[in-house]
Amino acid sequence: MAVLSISGEIGCHPEELARRAATHLGWHLATGTDLLDEHRLRDSAASGVEPAPSRAWPWLAASALVRLAARGNLIYSVSGGQFLLPSLAGIIRIHLTASLSFRIGAVMVDHGLDRAAARNWLKDQEAGEMQRRRERFGKTAFRSHNVDLVINASDFNVDQQWNLLECALRLRGLIPGEALSAAAEAQMLFQIRLKLARFGLTPGLDLSAARPEFSHPTEEIFAKLLDFYRIPWQYEPRSFPLQWDKDGRVMEAFTPDFYLPEFDLYVELTTMKQSLVTRKNHKIKLLRAIYPHINIQVFYQKDIQDLILKYDLSRAEIES
């Protein structure tokens, strides 16, 4: 399996090298625009869709790349691409750099600007790119260990860049390569889905879907886990009367936190110690007695803590 990441400074035209490599190798090419469109991360004003949190972007992009790599060898060129898929075997990362004067000259040619205007344009674009990298990856620049090969575009034209790249691929044994195996794809997507669950997202999930107002952070954590396993759920969909007065008016009722329609199961969560939930246990006992056909499962504090440990969730997420 071979994956090639090509990134570069503005004015170095990394996508041009990516297209050249894709043409020579016959590999699939993905650009930043492809990744944005796949996961509906476009500007909300243009698309009418709520954009995903910036910190979720690397995992959404990674899920798209993993699926593409499962179809065959892949080349992708996206800003910050050198930070994506850091643990993937069979990936080589190329980064293009150049002198400031070279990059200003490239902007002058590309956009028909004079030198002063090109310098200002480049400065604004670089500031924007830096901000995006900070929001998405928590870093503004790459370090030597983030890439495998740095090519100076001031000294090597695109044909020469391709020659250097081809040599690097052959030295790494990535030509020819095979598609990402189904087992590897499944394992990577599992890890990605776990990361996205922290944002309340799953690959392919409609980002515009409204979420309820949870009464406790624990309930939101549980909802994210259900989303992660793609289990449909409803939040507090029904209240069960438990006691009535002599006129038949409801004096006491119980509303379970979740209902899982696929399992016909109600779920109640509590972060109190089990010894302190006597009243809640009494309500659940009444519920089972009055409605014997209702299936309900209670998760106590220890159950919640076990979920936190198992899925590496922050304890801060369940503090009141």
Exposure string of 175-186, with b = 16+ CB inside 10 Å and e = fewer, is eebebbeeebbe
* pLDDT tens per residue across span 94-146: 999 999 999 999 999 999 999 999 999 999 999 998 998 898 888 877 777 88
- What CA dihedral angle connects 6, 8, 13 and 17, to 10 degrees? -20
Burial class (CB in 10 A: 0-12, 13-18, 19+), 164: middle
Residue 319, φ and ψ in degrees, nearest 5: -75, 145
Going from the N-terminus, what domains does the chain have, and what CATH number goes with each? 3-197 (3.40.50.300), 217-318 (3.40.960)
Q: Is the pTM of this model over 0.85?
A: no
Question: What is the amino acid identity at position 125?
Answer: Q
256: tokens are 């379970």
The predicted structure's pLDDT at residue 172: 83
- φ, ψ (nearest 5 deg) of residue 267: -130, 130
Instruction: Give the alpha-carbon dihedral of 232, 55, 72, 206, to 10 degrees.
Output: 30
Average pLDDT, the chain: 80
Q: What is the pLDDT of residues 185-227, one digit of tens each?
A: 777 888 888 888 777 776 654 444 456 778 888 888 888 778 7
| Model confidence pLDDT, tens digit, residues 22-31 | 888 888 888 8
Q: Which of 87-96, 159-168, 196-205, 231-240 has the lowest mean pLDDT?
A: 196-205
